[in-house]
């Protein structure tokens, strides 16, 4: 009977020793990566790292939003419309090009081809309208088409 109890305790101690060694090896593996010796040092290190990462994320968010606001000023919408200003059949050598940003500010260029040569009429566009010069029907049509897309 004593032999049976001794074998049981021996197996019990052997299995517990195996589990302790396995857990210790896992702990040593975790500790080796951080180059710290104590668990509280590792946790402090991780908390500092998390705080640093959160600061970087907030900095990136601010940078992203400032770049996003800045990108609204870039030319984003553009289109071309060919037309015949003199109502000649089949001859559409004149054209209008518009370049607008996200707030519909930009430039429209009207290229009118005549017998004497090519004439270019630039107009500044603010909020989808020209404040200085009257827009032609083709220019209005093109701006409306670009703004609606």
Q: What is the pLDDT of residue 49?
A: 92
Residue at token pair 């290190």: 45
Q: b or e along 27-49 (b: 16 or more beta carbons within 10 Å of the residue's beta carbon)?
A: eeeeeeeeebeeeeebeeeeeee
Beta carbons within 8 Å of 99's beta carbon, 6+ residues apart: 75, 77, 78, 106, 107, 108
C-beta of residue 101 within 8 angstroms of C-beta of residue 76: yes
Q: What is the pLDDT of residue 32?
A: 79
The total of other beta-carbon atoms located within 10 Å of residue 136's CB is 17
* Residue 3 pLDDT: 86
Per-residue pLDDT of the chain (149 residues; tens, 9 = 90+): 888 889 999 999 999 999 999 999 988 887 777 777 777 888 888 899 999 999 999 999 999 999 998 888 898 999 999 998 877 766 788 999 999 998 999 999 999 988 888 999 999 999 989 989 999 999 999 999 998 87
Q: How far apart are CA 74 and CA 67, in angstroms?
A: 11
pLDDT for the residue numbered 84: 86
The pLDDT, as a whole number, for residue 108 is 95
pTM of the predicted model, to two decimals? Answer: 0.60
Tell me how far apart the alpha carbons of residues 114 and 123 are, in angstroms, rounded to a whole number: 20
CB–CB of 107/123 below 8 Å?
Answer: yes
């Amino acid at each position: 009977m004593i032999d049976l109890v001794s074998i049981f305790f021996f197996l019990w101690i052997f299995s517990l020793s195996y589990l302790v060694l396995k857990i210790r090896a896992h702990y040593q593996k975790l500790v080796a990566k951080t180059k710290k010796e104590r668990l509280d040092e590792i946790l402090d290190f991780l908390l500092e790292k998390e705080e640093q990462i959160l600061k970087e994320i907030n900095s990136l968010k601010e940078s992203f939003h400032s770049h996003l606001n800045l990108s609204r000023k870039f030319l984003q919408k553009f289109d071309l419309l060919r037309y015949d200003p003199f109502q000649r059949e089949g001859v559409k050598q004149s054209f209008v090009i518009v370049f607008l940003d996200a707030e519909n500010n930009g430039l429209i260029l009207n290229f009118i081809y005549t017998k004497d040569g090519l004439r270019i009429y630039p107009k500044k566009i603010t909020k989808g309208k020209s404040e200085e010069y009257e827009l032609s029907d083709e220019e209005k049509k093109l701006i409306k088409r670009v703004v609606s897309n």
